[in-house]
Structure 1
């Protein structure tokens, strides 16, 4: 298997005032918190959003590992719905000392390019800033951070910067190149069975 050079950028906000809003998309787009931990639903979102951009680190997780992760106090999944259909998600993972990581964020391929992403990222980041209000015993959020890489969508970095995130670290590594898994073979746009 060949290797590919992957650049990973880490970005942060250190104040709620850093967050820059995004225009709401046209149509009936709603963002709601998935309050009942559901390994099945979270795995669906992960595989469907990340399948064509090679998210693979959680594909081998067992049901129990998903459940344990999702049931950790403060872990939240916020889901954008377009006319009732899941369009994308943002996952928040609180860490020590008032830090919240946006561990995953993205849209299913059919919903990209429709201004939903900026709206969802702004909403999810705002929920990272006010996370302690929903979880007793949590320290107020002092920092929100995330990472993106050169395998992510072409507009990902621009979206993060337009929402007020600032770059604080860059790493370049060689990774084994793997085919995009998709939620099932041939599911992502441009894929052909047997290709």
Structure 2
């Protein structure tokens, strides 16, 4: 089986085509590092999209990953329930990656994705020294994922075909 990987980027905050209607979604940064939260979110959101590469990692690896000063995590809530999350990771060259982004199964198709992605992008540009925001998605993700990234202003810069 082959998977297509799409790499997208934004080179200025003005490229953001923001969706402003939150529809009751609240997005909060997890300001205290707790690797179990990230591990839980990764599994909750990623299970349906075959995110399994990190599930076998040790707790020590998760702790190291989450405690990186360049990684920040936001959780989306709807009526008190976790609806989704995103992680942003910056580097010393001014690149900020939307590392993980997604909605929990019950919240897909309710119009939350555009707003949550807009918030991810705005928070990425707010990280000091960010010159470029980028993300990758693949053909295993939700059918609207690529369209949502492009609708928010990301431009496709590379496509790869990978055998799995």
TM-score relative to the length of structure 1: 0.82
Per the alignment, residue 102 of structure 1 pairs with 98
For residue 33 of structure 1, report the CA deviation from its aligned partner. Answer: 0.1
Per the alignment, residue 11 of structure 2 pairs with 14
Superposed CA offset, 1:120-146 (max 9, x none): 1100111010112xxxxxxx1000001
State yes or no: 1:148 paired with 2:145: no
For residue 61 of structure 1, report the CA deviation from its aligned partner. Answer: 1.5
RMSD (Å), alpha carbons: 0.9
Query: Is the 8 Å Cα contact of residues 25 and 114 (structure 1) preserved in structure 2?
Result: no
Query: Is the 8 Å Cα contact of residues 34 and 79 (structure 1) preserved in structure 2?
Result: yes
For residue 23 of structure 1, report the CA deviation from its aligned partner. Answer: 3.5
TM-score relative to the length of structure 2: 0.97
Q: Which runs of 5+ in 1 are unaligned?
A: 133-139, 176-195
Per the alignment, residue 159 of structure 2 pairs with 170
**What is the DSSP-based 3-state SS (H/G/I as helix, E as strand, rest coil) of the residue aligned with 2:115?**
helix
Q: Where has structure 1 moved over 4 Å in runs of 4 or more?
A: none
Query: Is the 8 Å Cα contact of residues 74 and 131 (structure 1) preserved in structure 2?
Result: no
Per the alignment, residue 26 of structure 2 pairs with 30
Cα distance in 2 for residues equivalent to 1:73 and 1:32: 18
**What is the DSSP-based 3-state SS (H/G/I as helix, E as strand, rest coil) of the residue aligned with 1:52?**
helix
Query: Is the 8 Å Cα contact of residues 24 and 115 (structure 1) preserved in structure 2?
Result: no
Q: Which has the larger radius of gyration?
A: 1
Cα distance in 2 for residues equivalent to 1:33 and 1:115: 21
Query: Is the 8 Å Cα contact of residues 70 and 91 (structure 2) preserved in structure 1?
Result: no
**What is the DSSP-based 3-state SS (H/G/I as helix, E as strand, rest coil) of the residue aligned with 2:93?**
helix
State yes or no: 1:158 paired with 2:154: no
**What is the DSSP-based 3-state SS (H/G/I as helix, E as strand, rest coil) of the residue aligned with 1:148?**
strand
Within a 5 Å distance, the mapping from 1:127-138 to structure 2 comes to 127-132=123-128
Q: Which runs of 5+ in 2 are unaligned?
A: none
Per the alignment, residue 62 of structure 2 pairs with 66
**What is the DSSP-based 3-state SS (H/G/I as helix, E as strand, rest coil) of the residue aligned with 1:97?**
coil
Query: Is the 8 Å Cα contact of residues 77 and 91 (structure 1) preserved in structure 2?
Result: yes
State yes or no: 1:86 paired with 2:82: yes
Query: Is the 8 Å Cα contact of residues 22 and 122 (structure 1) preserved in structure 2?
Result: yes
**What is the DSSP-based 3-state SS (H/G/I as helix, E as strand, rest coil) of the residue aligned with 2:110?**
coil
